[in-house]
Amino acid sequence: MAARRENFIKRRKALGFTQESLAQAVGVDRSTVGRWENGEVDPQAWHRPALMRTLRITADELDSLINVSSTSAAAPAVPATLADSGYDDELEALELVRRISASDVGDATLSRLELAFDELAIKYPTVPPRELLGQVRKYSGYVAHLMGAKKTLAEHRQLLVIGGWFSLLGATLHIDLNQQDAATARLRTAMTLAQHADHREIQAWCYETDAWRVLTDGNYSKAVELSKAAQYLAPKGSSVEIQATAQQGRAFARLGNSPETYAAISQVQSLSSSAGLPDQPEHHFRYDPAKSVAYTATTLAWLGDPAAETYAREVIARLAQPDDLSKWPRRVASANIDLALSLVATDRLDEACDAAQRAMLSGRVAPSNHWRALEVVKAVETRRISDAKDLRDVYEGMRLEIEPPKA
């Protein structure tokens, strides 16, 4: 049952606002304010700045007004000691640096954690998500351990930001593994940490990542809404602004909204050309302009535009290693699925089967993308060609590697 937000109501009344006048100041309906106060919904991200300005409060103070004890999220468990948590030599070295620093945390420890996060984000395109998730858990646990250490305010905020990034990467990996509940929990943690640190970029990434999560689950309208929220929060010209725009375009494509889809493609191309080449193009949270080709291939394939074939082939030609499919970046496997979809649309079914099989046999199709491979399988089965059974067998083999049959 929703809990009435008495402190929120008291703050509104103390400043002389009625529900209607507060609604006008923030730019919402009076009924929306009523639902906030009754605890039925939370203010959306794009309402928070106006609320904070109107109620003359900080982000933390707004959180305290809208959160009640019965709905507060539990804090992550902090390990009692490092010895009983399975930490490796890297974390032992971090702990030693921390102990000899001037503070209980120290700049050296925080800098090393930032570097560790960047290293993991760079590994994202090529390392299996289950393997990478284990490393993310290790560092997230260490960050949680440091939260209880003595530190300056600046160090505390920096640690919140680092924890937000690790939680965000963890959520991304859970989505790849099709672990929806775990992904949602980590996204909430990342958002909470980012809000306390007032870090809009991480907040924007949380919305963008959640947009991808709901898109893979078939909720395309919600994906559009979350992508818009991400763009609202994203720093101008940032990687997350570009990626959120791309995510919105994908969602529009799934909805069959052609004008909006092409507009999003054009906007992504414009934004990415202005962004320039990042110093770490493989970093998952640094938008590489080369990614726009892969994004365009997927978006056009979902829209049913034959031009998807050209873009997909460009990605494959640029990144594929034909001698060893297992060394492909995930972007190549995705491009082969895009190619297969475009070939099905133009009745080149044998070529479509070949492209889809190569993607699935590469081992680079994340569980969250199995549904895309299944779309090719079903399309080929509908045409009743002889290769359809072989393609279905390859798909089932790929799926069972992740989800082995129960005894």
Per-residue pLDDT tens digits for 309-320: 999 999 888 887
Can you give the pLDDT at residue 269? 87
Can you give the pLDDT at residue 53? 83
Looking at the chain, the number of H-run helices and the number of E-run strands are: 20, 0
Which positions of the chain have pLDDT values less than 50?
70-85, 404-407
Phi and psi at 40, nearest 5°, equal -75, -35
Q: Containing H/E element for 51?
A: helix 48-55
Q: At what angle do helices 239-255 and 258-275 cross, to 10 degrees?
A: 160
Cβ 351 vs Cβ 316: under 8 Å: no
Q: In angstroms, rounded to a whole number, what is the distance separating the alpha carbons of residues 46 and 63?
A: 14
Those residues with Cβ within 8 angstroms of residue 82's Cβ, 6 or more apart along the chain or in another chain:
91, 92, 95, 145
- Judge residue 375's burial from the number of C-beta atoms within 10 Å of its C-beta, 0-12 exposed, 13-18 middle, 19 or more buried: middle
Can you give the pLDDT at residue 134? 92
- Cα separation values, 153 from 147, 203, 264, Å: 12, 20, 41
Can you give the pLDDT at residue 88? 65
Residue type, 255: L
Residue 307's nearest CA partner among 342, 351, 282 is 342
Quick one: tokens of 264? 């999003």
Residue 105's nearest CA partner among 91, 95, 119 is 95
- Judge residue 81's burial from the number of C-beta atoms within 10 Å of its C-beta, 0-12 exposed, 13-18 middle, 19 or more buried: exposed
Quick one: tokens of 207? 């919305």
Can you give the pLDDT at residue 322? 67
Residue 374's nearest CA partner among 404, 351, 340 is 340
Helix (H, G, I), strand (E, B) or coil at 132: helix
Q: In angstroms, rounded to a whole number, what is the distance separating the alpha carbons of residues 230 and 215?
A: 15
Q: In angstroms, rounded to a whole number, what is the distance separating the alpha carbons of residues 128 and 123?
A: 9
Other beta carbons less than 10 A from residue 304's beta carbon: 14
Can you give the pLDDT at residue 100? 58
